[in-house]
Amino acid sequence: MRAVLWDMDGTLVDSEKLWDVAMEALYDRLGGVLTPEVRAATVGGAAENTMRIVYDDLGLPLDPAAMADSANWLHDYTAGLFDTGLPWCDGARELLDALAAAAVPMALVTNTPRALAERALNTIGRHYFSAVVCGDEVPRGKPAPDPYLRAAALLELDPLRCLAVEDSPTGAAAAEAAGCAVLVAPNAIPVPPGPRRQQVATLAGLQPADLAEIHADLAGPQRAVAGNRRDRT
């Protein structure tokens, strides 16, 4: 394991509850009622996908300008909630500190737009991360692999050498598609199992050595296959 790539909302900080409040406010503004099923479908999603889900659910025309306006309103509303303070997820801050002390490179990989992520970093701390990749800085957000591929490239590492830490099905799918091993600590919704995913109930108590062991267990066979392919070329 050469680096750890962190999701933000629901993984480092328990901000999904604030997104719940913001999404309910958006639905009120648009004249609808947010259902648990729709909220679950939007957890961890990119802004464009989220707005498509919302507008489909409300039977509104998929007008790009209106959807962009709603996304901007949602992000502005959420920024105000972020500024009141973000609670840490259990064990996240301690694990960040331990990884930093062990000189393990880290990147923040989030679907949240840069302007809003910067507000969150006021709480989390920018000093932990050698790179930050936001949803509005890649061609496609999660569940596409683009954010994780960009983070690995910024760290000048093969994604196979990186462990991603995620809490949602959307994020886990993105990290897995990029080639990362994935440590999943579910928050708002369950995350399906997968051959390159290991789930934990909480990050509390985990140490860098634990993450290195998890990465080795998940990534070892795929690294061996990749190495064999290189040997034959």
Q: pLDDT tens digit string along 21-73?
A: 999 999 999 999 999 999 989 887 788 889 999 999 999 999 999 999 999 99
Nearest-angstrom CA–CA distance, 6 and 206 = 15
Nearest-angstrom CA–CA distance, 34 and 27 = 6
pLDDT confidence of residue 95: 98
Predicted confidence (pLDDT) at residue 222 exceeds the cutoff of 80: no
pLDDT confidence of residue 223: 46
Average pLDDT, the chain: 91
Confidence of residue 224 (pLDDT cuts 50, 70, 90): very low
Please name which of 117, 215, 123 lies closest in space to residue 165, comparing C-alpha atoms: 215
Nearest-angstrom CA–CA distance, 208 and 32 = 45
- 60, with CB counted inside 10 A (0-12, 13-18, 19+), is middle
The predicted model gives 134-155 an average pLDDT of 96
Predicted confidence (pLDDT) at residue 153 exceeds the cutoff of 90: yes
Predicted confidence (pLDDT) at residue 132 exceeds the cutoff of 90: yes
Distance of CA 119 to the CA centre of its chain: 16
For residue 143, whether the previous peptide bond is cis, meaning omega lies within 30 degrees of 0, is yes
pLDDT confidence of residue 231: 30
Predicted confidence (pLDDT) at residue 94 exceeds the cutoff of 60: yes
Q: What are the tens digits of pLDDT across the range 156-213?
A: 999 999 999 999 999 999 999 999 999 999 987 899 999 999 999 999 999 999 999 9
Stronger pLDDT, 60 or 219, i.e. the higher one: 60
Separation in Å, CA 23 to CA 17, 35, 42, 184: 10, 10, 10, 24
pLDDT confidence of residue 128: 98
pLDDT confidence of residue 47: 84
The predicted model gives 69-87 an average pLDDT of 89
Predicted confidence (pLDDT) at residue 226 exceeds the cutoff of 70: no
pLDDT confidence of residue 230: 31
